[in-house]
């Protein structure tokens, strides 16, 4: 799952990006609104975290322009402005959620997870394919009741594939959801992660089949 | 002395009214009494004269008629409202009838002036002669004051010739003043009662009238009392209010508007200040959470520690600057600080204070002063030192390692000039007004600790001391030169701050 963070305070941005990455998200950070608007249409972001006090364009204007250009990604406003008026106008301009600084990191993470689910139109935090169960809130995957030890990227690949179980997931789309701009990606990195995950799902789990030239599909045998 | 009732408007109005009423009533009562006295007095004399004529005419009858008529006449007189019982008849000093105490006049006694209170002569009161019997009258009837049996009395006298008497006959009657003027005393009692009654009724009616008269004021009061706890309360437009309260209302409304303005400013300031604290607090929380979850040794933990340190520095500085700003603006509204002080000394002390800081930043800090003794200018030494200190702090903080900061003081024509010159990144021309806005920070400085309050504090301090402040390019072109111009001691000391300065 890939998340965009638009925040001009570098220290706070480092903190937010760090904690989101630690949760397994691919995260892109932008310090200015113009770049964020441009990028919002290019990558398949699951959620956008938006600060309002930006140096170049006001955050609400960024929000408006993103929505005007057809961006349907859930947006969480994260700002120091916390009057009722600010919250109402933020939500009315098209934001999905609003948090004011300072905030509880645990609550922030939970809201991000909720927004990601909403964006996937899958409100149930439990994803299930055959004997494979992924709890997206606690980030624990089990196969027939036995917990799976997954790395961060493997977890991201699994979550992406499970949200589209039984359907083709193109290679590019999967890569865009798993890797952010900062990730140093070798040409076959995705194949490596998919291969490891495929082995961990056997025996007894669903299979990850490769559709040559197109992508992957997660299916129960 | 202050009467307790005088604090009440109605009390004052009532007191003034009572004073006026008493004076008026007194005047009416006195003139009524004068007219009454006049009328009673002349009426009494007229009765006396009429009675005398009755006796006199009766006595003038020849005998035996006289002996028959006299008793009837006397009896008639005794039966009047003010009975007259005392009379005497003398002829040439010989007592003939009546009361011998009423002696005939010697002729030189004063007579009662028969004049009205306005001085006009009253007819029929003095030397009254009945045209029908004026033939035998020697001295026409007149009235004189006298004494009868030890009491003040009024005596009427007529002298006439009577058949059977060789000498002219003196006929007199007397009445005590007390009896004669009994009616006047009664009337005076009625006048006093009327005065008292009108006073009482007047005061009662007036007390009610005052309530009506001051109703516009009580309405104003009601407006005040009914105001909800909002800043927007204003007295209603003046059409409904009394003219006398116009100044009060406009001043009061202006005062309220001013209060609201300053309350708004304070609210804006606190909201800005709290706004500034939110981001560093969020930084602390987020990184603290990361450290707790992934440990200090992890990369996240190490980065977090560094960023938390920075956030605390930001908060610390913000707090100090807020206190400093509050102190600089504390005196707003009071007279500006204008005392002579040595600018060279204040500036060099401030530079000395910052020496360690400059060394820690690897910035070369130097001071260039006038060598010819103190540089007396107008302001306040501690405020000036704080001002210079803030400027040096900025110059060091935003400089680069190896940079330099020069603090210079020099004399100008009528002023003393302080300059803080650095060769750091400078401030773009378009941002040179913005940096005086509270909490404004240049985008490039986001990574540095700072509150955005340093220059606003400098400006507030300069205004306190009526010094001018300008940001300029230094002669070398690189960095920033801040010029603060203090008034020279000769021009500004002792000059009272003008209204314009106080209002600013």
User: Which residues face A100 on adjacent strands?
Assistant: A79
Residue B374 tokens read as 């103190």
pLDDT at B251: 86
> How many CB contacts within 8 angstroms connect chain A with chain B?
71
State the average pLDDT over residues A170-188: 81
Put simply, whether B283 touches A (Cβ < 8 Å) is yes
**Higher pLDDT, residue A186 or B238:** A186
User: Which residues face B415 on adjacent strands?
Assistant: B487
Q: Do B289 and A103 touch (CB under 8 A)?
A: no
10-residue stretch averages of pLDDT, chain B, 504 residues long: 66 89 91 86 84 88 88 87 85 89 84 66 62 77 87 90 88 88 85 91 91 83 71 66 78 84 76 80 90 86 87 84 73 64 90 88 88 82 87 90 91 89 89 83 74 82 87 88 87 42 39
Nearest residue to B406 (alpha-carbon basis) of B351, B454, B455: B351
Supply the DSSP symbol for B157.
E
- Domains, chain A: 2-119 (3.40.50.2300), 126-219 (1.10.10.10)
Q: What is the CATH number of the domain that holds B391?
A: 3.30.565.10
Give the end of a domain, one of B330, B358, B373.
B330
Best of A7, A10, A12 to mutate (most B CBs within 10 Å, chain B) = A12
Counted domains in chain B: 3
Residue B281 domain flag = yes
Q: Is the domain of B99 the same as that of B122?
A: yes
Shortest CA gap B296–chain A (Å) = 14
Please state the pTM of the whole predicted model. Answer: 0.56
Q: Is the domain of B374 the same as that of B492?
A: yes
Put simply, whether B293 touches A (Cβ < 8 Å) is yes
Give the end of a domain, one of B268, B298, B330.
B330
Residue B498 domain flag = yes
Cα–Cα dist B77/B58, whole Å: 12
Nearest to B279 among A18, A19, A101 (CB): A101
Minimum CA–CA partner of B447 in chain A: A10
Residue A213 tokens read as 């030239």
Q: Which domain holds residue B53?
A: 4-185
Q: Is the domain of B153 the same as that of B254?
A: no
Q: Is the domain of B319 the same as that of B352?
A: no
Q: Is the domain of B324 the same as that of B357?
A: no
Q: Is the domain of B26 the same as that of B100?
A: yes
Best of B272, B279, B288, B308 to mutate (most A CBs within 10 Å, chain A) = B279
Cα–Cα dist B495/B360, whole Å: 43
Q: Is the domain of B134 the same as that of B253?
A: no
pLDDT at B230: 62
Q: What is the CATH number of the domain that holds B226?
A: 1.10.287
Q: Do B275 and A106 touch (CB under 8 A)?
A: no
**Higher pLDDT, residue A18 or B273:** A18
Check whether A201 has a pLDDT greater than 90. Answer: no
Selected residues 219-258 of chain B with any CB under 8 Å from a CB in chain A = none
pLDDT at B496: 41
Put simply, whether B307 touches A (Cβ < 8 Å) is yes
ipTM: 0.75
Q: Do B446 and A15 touch (CB under 8 A)?
A: no
Residue B18 domain flag = yes
Question: What does the DSSP assignment read for A186-209?
Answer: -TTHHHHHHHHHHHHTTTTS-EEE
Structure-token match 């609550």, residue found: A107
Mean pLDDT, all residues of chain A:
87
pLDDT at A112: 94
C-beta of residue B82 within 8 angstroms of C-beta of residue B179: yes
Q: Is the domain of B148 the same as that of B76?
A: yes
Residue B191 domain flag = no
**Higher pLDDT, residue B233 or A97:** A97
Nearest to A9 among B279, B285, B289 (CB): B279
Residues in A lying within 8 Å of B, measured between beta carbons: 8-12, 14-16, 18-19, 22, 55, 80-82, 100-106, 108
Q: Is the domain of B325 the same as that of B343?
A: no
Percent of chain A with pLDDT over 70: 100
pLDDT at A185: 73
Put simply, whether B282 touches A (Cβ < 8 Å) is yes
């Amino acid at each position: 799952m890939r998340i965009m963070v638009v925040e001009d305070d570098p220290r706070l941005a480092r903190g937010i990006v760090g904690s989101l990455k630690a949760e397994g998200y691919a995260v892109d950070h932008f310090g200015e609104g113009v770049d964020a608007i441009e990028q919002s249409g290019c990558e398949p972001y699951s959620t956008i975290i938006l600060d309002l006090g930006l140096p170049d364009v006001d955050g609400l204007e960024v929000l408006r322009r993103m929505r005007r250009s057809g961006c349907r990604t859930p947006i969480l406003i994260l700002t120091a402005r916390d009057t009722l008026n600010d919250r109402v106008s933020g939500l009315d301009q098209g934001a999905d959620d609003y948090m004011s600084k300072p905030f509880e990191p645990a609550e922030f993470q939970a809201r991000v997870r909720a927004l990601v689910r909403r964006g996937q139109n899958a409100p149930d935090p439990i994803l299930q394919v055959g004997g494979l169960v992924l709890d997206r809130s606690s980030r624990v995957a089990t196969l027939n009741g036995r917990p799976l030890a997954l790395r961060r990227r493997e977890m991201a690949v699994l979550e992406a594939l499970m949200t589209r179980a039984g359907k083709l997931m193109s290679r590019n789309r999967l890569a865009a959801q798993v890797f952010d701009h900062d990730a140093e990606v070798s040409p076959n990195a995705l194949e490596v992660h998919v291969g490891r995950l495929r082995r961990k799902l056997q025996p007894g789990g669903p299979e990850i089949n490769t559709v040559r030239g197109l992508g992957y599909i997660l299916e129960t045998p | 002395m202050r009467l307790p009732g005088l604090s009440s408007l109605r009390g004052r109005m009532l007191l003034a009214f009572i004073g006026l009423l008493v004076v008026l009533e007194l005047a009416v009562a006195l003139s009524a009494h004068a007219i009454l006295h006049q009328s009673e007095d002349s009426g009494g004399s007229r009765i006396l004269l009429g009675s005398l004529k009755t006796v006199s005419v009766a006595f003038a009858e020849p005998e035996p008629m006289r002996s028959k008529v006299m008793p009837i006449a006397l009896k008639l007189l005794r039966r009047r409202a003010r009975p007259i019982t005392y009379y005497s008849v003398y002829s040439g000093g010989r007592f003939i009838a009546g009361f011998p105490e009423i002696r005939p006049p010697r002729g030189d006694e004063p007579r009662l002036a028969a004049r009205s209170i306005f001085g006009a002569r009253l007819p029929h009161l003095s030397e009254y002669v009945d045209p029908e019997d004026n033939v035998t009258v020697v001295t026409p009837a007149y009235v004189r004051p006298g004494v009868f049996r030890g009491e003040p009395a009024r005596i009427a006298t007529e002298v006439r010739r009577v058949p059977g008497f060789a000498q002219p006959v003196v006929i007199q009657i007397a009445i005590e003043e007390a009896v004669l003027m009994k009616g006047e005393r009664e009337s005076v009692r009625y006048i006093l009662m009327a005065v008292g009654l009108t006073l009482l009724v007047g005061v009662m009616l007036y007390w009610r009238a005052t309530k009506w008269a001051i109703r516009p004021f009580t309405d104003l009061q009601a407006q005040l009392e009914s105001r909800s706890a909002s800043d927007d309360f204003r007295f209603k437009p003046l059409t409904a209010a009394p003219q006398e309260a116009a100044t009060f209302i406009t001043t009061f409304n202006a005062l309220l508007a001013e209060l609201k303005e300053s309350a708004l400013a304070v609210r804006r300031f606190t909201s800005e200040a709290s706004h500034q604290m939110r981001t560093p607090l969020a930084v602390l929380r987020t990184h603290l959470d990361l450290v707790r979850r992934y440990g200090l040794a992890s990369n996240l933990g190490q980065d977090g520690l560094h960023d938390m340190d920075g956030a605390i520095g930001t908060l610390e500085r913000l707090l100090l600057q807020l206190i400093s700003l509050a102190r600089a603006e504390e005196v707003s509204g009071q007279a500006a600080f204008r005392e002579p002080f040595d600018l060279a000394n204040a500036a060099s002390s401030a530079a000395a204070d910052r020496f360690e800081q400059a060394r820690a930043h690897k910035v070369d800090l130097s001071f260039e002063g006038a060598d010819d003794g103190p540089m007396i200018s107008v302001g306040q030494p501690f405020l000036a030192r704080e001002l210079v200190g803030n400027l040096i702090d900025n110059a060091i903080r935003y400089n680069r390692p190896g940079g330099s900061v020069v603090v210079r003081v020099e004399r100008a024509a009528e002023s003393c000039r302080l300059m803080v010159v650095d060769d750091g990144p400078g401030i773009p021309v378009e941002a040179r007004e913005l940096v005086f806005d509270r909490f404004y920070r240049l985008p490039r400085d986001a990574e540095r600790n700072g509150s955005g309050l340093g220059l606003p504090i400098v400006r507030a301090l300069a205004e306190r001391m009526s010094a001018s402040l300008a940001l300029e390019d230094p002669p070398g072109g690189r960095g920033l030169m801040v010029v603060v111009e203090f008034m020279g001691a000769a021009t500004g000391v002792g000059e009272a701050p003008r209204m314009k300065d106080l209002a600013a």
